[in-house]
């Protein structure tokens, strides 16, 4: 066990954007949640050249919000997933973007819920429909539906399960992206009992397992489906595939036991074959699965390492892999939630699957005088300073410096803004590197959790509670030499304004005014009380941001006068609509 210490305090991280919400607005995406626990970015699903960010909300049933960099100094909320309730409100903890079925249309992928009897729990896959920020109806696999894919012991049972983190990667090099998921479920799940005259044998499998899945065919058409390429459990290495006479039958803890929590993709031994580095909540347990060919995986002579035994520690969010020392082999960097240590894992014997304790090194001293380096949450590898090499960034809490950088030789502790250190409950949970603004340098997109809706200001004579001015749920951070904050306003659906028509009631004409906060393709459509379209006053036309007015003369699409009655006019912009009513009197 090696111990390396080198730390430098600095403030040279620039927040170039943050997404917040109004804590008094019950319609806001993050209202009633504790912030966001997962984020991904740098995507362009609709092909309009504008980078998108997708973030989960931690609470309120779980779900995902899509945002787009408008290019004129703003981020716009463009989409929200289904908001149906779940019985476990904090089950959405990460989101990814992929093209699992290889049809050229990318998907937004995430999990919701926890319990198998919850019809809204499970895996959601929203595929882009080729329009401006448009999506098809989701493909939804319930937890029981996922159990049928794995079909352990020919039964397909699945216990209550949550997913903290997952990745998408073509790990086996077959040209198809795979879904890599750590399922944190029951220790063992009963499948069926086999009763003889003298005994009953229970056939079980572990609900704690890592899975690699892929798609066959078009998922949205109904002719494709997800299939299981590989499963492995730290508690049950055979996953129900051997009989009662086999020494591995039942719970064997062959790979150290515990609950799968997170993972990363690496090439620790530099042989060109990618590995799934598996991290388990059981004394900081780790083991490696290597892809050796298309749909082919091996644990070889895999050994696991209980790094912090007898202390039951864990990497709560996610590790990252990168070759910082340039030796042609990745290192894995993984944080300890309980101690704040950042560990480096490197291959020393030329075989990734044989982990040993001497391949784990602590990089930081968490008690170094007045300036400890505390690496607690998600880990990301990024070239955020644009020098051509990657660095390691770790999320932390605001009271100690919320962003930690390790460049291979020393630490730098950033505070990404001048936020009051009296809010230690706020922290960077997970991060994703992406070049959002197109300057050739990666920014760090960070999800912020533990954000209070209000703060209390105390003086000698009074105590006042006000809305928290730092309701920052997602932050885009640029690492540089200048300490400054440039706010990018967030455009919400409520920033589009549709005024009351005047006069109302009317005859022969009425004026409808609307305001656009950004340049946008819109439609303004009139409907009757049956929901039938009457006429389109604006049909898919792009307007510059600003205020406009349109006159309706009480006629339909054919130019004929409509009947007296109530009509509804709707402003459609992207995935959102605002509607008001007007009355026509002859």
Other CB atoms within 10 A of residue 332 CB: 28
Per residue in 106-131, pLDDT tens?
999 999 999 999 999 999 999 999 99
Per residue in 248-277, pLDDT tens?
777 788 999 999 999 999 999 999 999 999
Distances (CA, A) of 419 to 20, 145, 426: 14, 45, 10
Q: Report the candidate in 94, 90, 191 with the shortest Cα–Cα distance to residue 147.
A: 191
Q: What is the mean pLDDT of residues 450-467?
A: 62
Q: What is the mean pLDDT of residues 536-559?
A: 95
Q: What CA–CA distance (Å, rounded) separates 380 from 373?
A: 16
pLDDT bucket at 59, cuts 50 / 70 / 90: confident
Q: What CA–CA distance (Å, rounded) separates 94 from 106?
A: 17
Per residue in 217-250, pLDDT tens?
999 888 899 999 999 999 988 877 777 777 777 7
- In this prediction, residue 562 carries a pLDDT of 96
Other CB atoms within 10 A of residue 326 CB: 8
Sign of CA dihedral 126, 127, 131, 132: positive
- In this prediction, residue 364 carries a pLDDT of 85
Classify burial at 319, counting beta carbons within 10 Å of its beta carbon; exposed 0-12, middle 13-18, buried 19 or more: buried
- For the chain, residues classed under CATH 2.130.10.10 are 12-491
Q: What DSSP assignment string belongs to 407-432?
A: -SS-EEEE-SS---TT-TT-EEEEEE
- In this prediction, residue 22 carries a pLDDT of 54
- In this prediction, residue 485 carries a pLDDT of 37
- For the chain, residues classed under CATH 2.60.40.4070 are 497-584
CATH class, range 497-584: mainly beta
- In this prediction, residue 6 carries a pLDDT of 29
507, pLDDT greater than 50: yes
Q: What CA–CA distance (Å, rounded) separates 330 from 13?
A: 26
- In this prediction, residue 191 carries a pLDDT of 84
CATH class, range 12-491: mainly beta
Q: Report the candidate in 521, 548, 519, 523 with the shortest Cα–Cα distance to residue 537.
A: 523
- In this prediction, residue 366 carries a pLDDT of 67
Residue identified by tokens 């002719």 is 223
Q: What is the mean pLDDT of residues 42-58?
A: 91
450, pLDDT greater than 80: no
- In this prediction, residue 348 carries a pLDDT of 96
- In this prediction, residue 94 carries a pLDDT of 97
481, pLDDT greater than 50: yes
Per residue in 130-189, pLDDT tens?
998 999 999 999 999 999 999 988 888 899 999 999 999 999 999 999 999 999 999 988
Distances (CA, A) of 236 to 176, 182, 194, 204, 205: 28, 14, 19, 9, 7
- In this prediction, residue 241 carries a pLDDT of 74
User: Edge to edge, what strands does the sheet with 443-449 contain?
Assistant: 13-20, 472-479, 443-449, 427-434
Per residue in 182-210, pLDDT tens?
999 999 888 888 877 677 788 888 999 99
Classify burial at 24, counting beta carbons within 10 Å of its beta carbon; exposed 0-12, middle 13-18, buried 19 or more: exposed
Could you tell me the two tokens for 75? Answer: 């981020």
Q: What is the mean pLDDT of residues 284-295?
A: 96
- In this prediction, residue 8 carries a pLDDT of 32
Q: Report the candidate in 575, 578, 579 with the shortest Cα–Cα distance to residue 76.
A: 575
pLDDT bucket at 470, cuts 50 / 70 / 90: low
pLDDT: which is higher, 30 or 88: 88
């Amino acid at each position: 066990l090696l111990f390396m210490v080198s730390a430098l305090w600095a403030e040279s991280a620039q927040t170039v954007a943050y997404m917040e919400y109004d804590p008094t607005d019950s319609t806001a995406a993050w209202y009633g949640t504790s912030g966001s626990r997962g984020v991904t970015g740098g995507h362009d699903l609709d092909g309009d050249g504008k980078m998108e960010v997708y973030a989960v909300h931690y609470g309120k049933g779980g779900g995902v919000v899509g945002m787009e960099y408008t290019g004129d100094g703003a981020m716009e909320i463009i989409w929200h997933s289904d908001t149906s309730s779940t019985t476990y409100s904090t089950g959405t903890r990460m989101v990814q973007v992929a093209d699992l079925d290889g049809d050229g249309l990318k998907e937004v992928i995430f999990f919701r819920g926890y319990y198998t009897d919850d019809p809204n729990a499970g895996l959601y896959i929203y595929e882009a429909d080729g329009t401006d920020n448009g999506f098809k109806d989701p493909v939804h696999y319930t937890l029981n539906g996922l159990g049928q894919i794995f079909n352990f012991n020919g039964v397909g049972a699945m216990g209550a399960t949550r997913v903290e983190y997952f990745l998408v990667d073509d790990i086996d090099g077959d040209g198809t992206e795979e879904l890599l998921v750590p399922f944190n479920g029951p220790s063992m799940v009963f499948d069926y009992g086999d009763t003889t005259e003298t005994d009953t044998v229970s056939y079980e499998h572990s609900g704690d397992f890592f899975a690699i899945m892929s798609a066959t065919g078009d998922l949205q058409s109904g002719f494709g489906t997800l299939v299981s390429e590989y499963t492995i459990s730290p508690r049950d290495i055979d996953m129900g595939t051997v009989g009662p006479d086999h020494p591995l039958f039942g719970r064997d803890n062959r790979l150290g036991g515990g609950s799968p929590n997170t993972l990363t993709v690496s090439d620790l031994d530099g042989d060109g074959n990618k590995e799934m580095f598996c991290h388990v909540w059981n004394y900081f347990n780790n083991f490696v699965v290597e892809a050796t060919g298309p749909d082919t995986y091996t644990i070889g002579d895999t050994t696991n390492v209980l790094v912090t035994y007898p202390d039951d520690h864990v990497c709560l969010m996610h590790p990252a892999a990168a070759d910082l020392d340039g030796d042609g082999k990745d290192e894995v960097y993984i944080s300890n939630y309980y101690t704040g240590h950042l560990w480096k894992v490197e291959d020393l014997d030329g075989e990734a699957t044989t982990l040993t304790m001497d391949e784990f090194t602590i990089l930081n001293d968490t008690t170094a005088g007045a300036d400890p380096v505390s690496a607690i949450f998600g880990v990301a590898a990024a070239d955020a300073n644009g020098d051509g090499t990657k660095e390691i960034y770790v999320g932390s809490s605001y009271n100690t410096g919320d962003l930690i950088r390790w460049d291979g030789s020393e630490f730098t502790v950033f505070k990404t803004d001048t936020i009051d250190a009296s809010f230690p409950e706020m922290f960077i949970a997970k991060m994703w590197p992406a070049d959002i603004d197109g300057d050739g340098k990666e920014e760090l997109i960070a999800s912020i959790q533990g954000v209070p809706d209000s703060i209390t200001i105390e003086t000698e004579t009074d105590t006042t509670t006000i809305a928290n001015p730092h309701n920052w749920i997602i932050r885009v951070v640029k690492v540089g030499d200048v300490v400054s904050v440039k706010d990018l306003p967030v455009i919400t659906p409520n920033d589009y304004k549709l005024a009351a028509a005047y006069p109302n009631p009317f005859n022969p004409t009425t004026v409808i005014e609307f305001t656009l906060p950004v340049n946008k393709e819109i439609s303004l459509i009139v409907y009757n009380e049956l929901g039938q379209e009457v006429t389109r006053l604006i049909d898919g036309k792009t307007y510059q941001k600003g205020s406009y007015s349109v006159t309706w003369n009480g006629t339909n699409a054919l130019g004929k006068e409509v009947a007296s009655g109530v009509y509804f006019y709707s402003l459609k912009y992207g995935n959102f609509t605002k509607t008001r009513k007007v009355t026509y009197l002859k």
